[in-house]
């Protein structure tokens, strides 16, 4: 199915937010996450930067505060650790009473650009799919869902589009939008892990490039679609963004645009005026595409 472009976000944002608007960005100590925290803080939101490493998180916060950005807070978070997630939930309730924006940016890949090992497939799936899912589900009751509309933006990849999957069973499970559910998505990613364990993954029609990373994004894209449908019209927007080949540690700095550029794309999407904010869309860079089988 071809991608169909829909309305492009405006380069000039209409300000609907204030310093009381709370945004949480995971994996915020470096790369796209750090640049997005900085961008949102510069625009006047209150931003919570999260990452797994306490010292790196504190260092990132000090760097931002040295530039006069005092509207940033740090909370140590491992998205695979339910106790960490529960602590974040309690802290957000106490500190802010809730949140308005969540950007699931934290992700891992253990492959070099031209490699395709699945040695760390389980960690990749847990971090990139189950991590954002666990965090999102825990935070759902805290979204204010005001007239401004709460927003979730999942940083994803075109590698996770279904046109990269050649396995007919997987395609059938995930292409049926009426029956798409978390149980089906979990079955798919767990089947991949079983194929890795048995050494059969190469012949089972999984994506050919960065296979474990791609499957984790297949899962994240599908979950985003389920969530968008669940909350459509209920004050919560859910979208995905593929920022493209970005100069980060994950690409060994070999991308074709900077992390700041990718963060600008994410900020434009997540700060769209409520009346222009879509849901269930897959963005490539800052252009939204209607792709009903993400």
Q: Which of 129, 213, 223, 291 is catalytic?
A: 213
Residue 181's Cβ-side half-sphere holds a number of Cα atoms within 13 Å equal to 3
Burial class (CB in 10 A: 0-12, 13-18, 19+), 51: buried
Active site residue 223: no
**Rounded Cα distance, 151 and 84, in Å:** 22
List, in sequence order, the alpha helices (H) in 140-244. Answer: 168-175, 182-198, 211-230
User: Which CB contacts under 8 angstroms, 24+ apart, belong to 204-209?
Assistant: 204/167, 205/165, 205/166, 205/167, 205/168, 205/170, 206/165, 206/166, 206/167, 206/170, 207/159, 207/160, 207/164, 207/165, 208/116, 208/164, 209/116, 209/159, 209/164
**Rounded Cα distance, 159 and 150, in Å:** 27
3-state secondary structure of 155: strand
- By annotation, the residues acting in catalysis are 213
């Amino acid at each position: 199915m071809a991608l169909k472009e829909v309305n492009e976000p405006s380069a000039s944002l209409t300000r609907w937010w204030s310093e009381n608007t709370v945004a949480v960005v995971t994996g915020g100590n470096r790369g796209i996450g750090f640049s997005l925290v900085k961008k949102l803080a510069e625009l006047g939101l209150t931003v919570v930067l999260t990452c797994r490493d306490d010292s790196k998180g504190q260092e990132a916060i000090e760097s931002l505060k040295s530039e006069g950005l005092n509207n940033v807070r740090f909370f140590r978070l491992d998205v695979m650790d339910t106790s960490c997630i529960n602590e974040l939930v309690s802290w957000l309730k106490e500190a802010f009473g809730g949140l308005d924006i969540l950007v699931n940016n934290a992700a891992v890949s253990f492959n070099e650009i031209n490699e395709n090992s699945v040695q760390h497939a389980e960690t990749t799936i847990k971090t990139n799919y189950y991590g954002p899912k666990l965090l999102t589900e825990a935070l759902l009751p805290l979204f204010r869902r005001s007239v401004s509309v709460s927003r979730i933006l999942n940083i994803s990849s075109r590698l996770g589009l279904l046109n990269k999957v050649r396995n007919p069973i997987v395609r059938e499970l995930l292409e049926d939008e009426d029956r798409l559910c978390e149980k089906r998505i979990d079955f798919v990613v767990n089947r991949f892990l079983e194929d890795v364990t048995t050494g059969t993954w190469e012949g089972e029609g999984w994506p050919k490039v960065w296979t474990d990373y791609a499957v984790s994004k297949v899962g994240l894209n599908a979950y985003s679609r389920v969530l968008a449908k669940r909350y459509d019209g209920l004050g919560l927007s859910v979208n995905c963004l593929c920022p493209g080949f970005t100069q980060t540690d994950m690409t060994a700095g070999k991308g074709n645009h900077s992390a700041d550029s990718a963060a600008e794309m994410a900020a434009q999407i997540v700060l769209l005026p409520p009346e222009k904010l879509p849901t269930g869309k897959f963005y490539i860079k800052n252009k939204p595409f209607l792709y009903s089988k993400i």
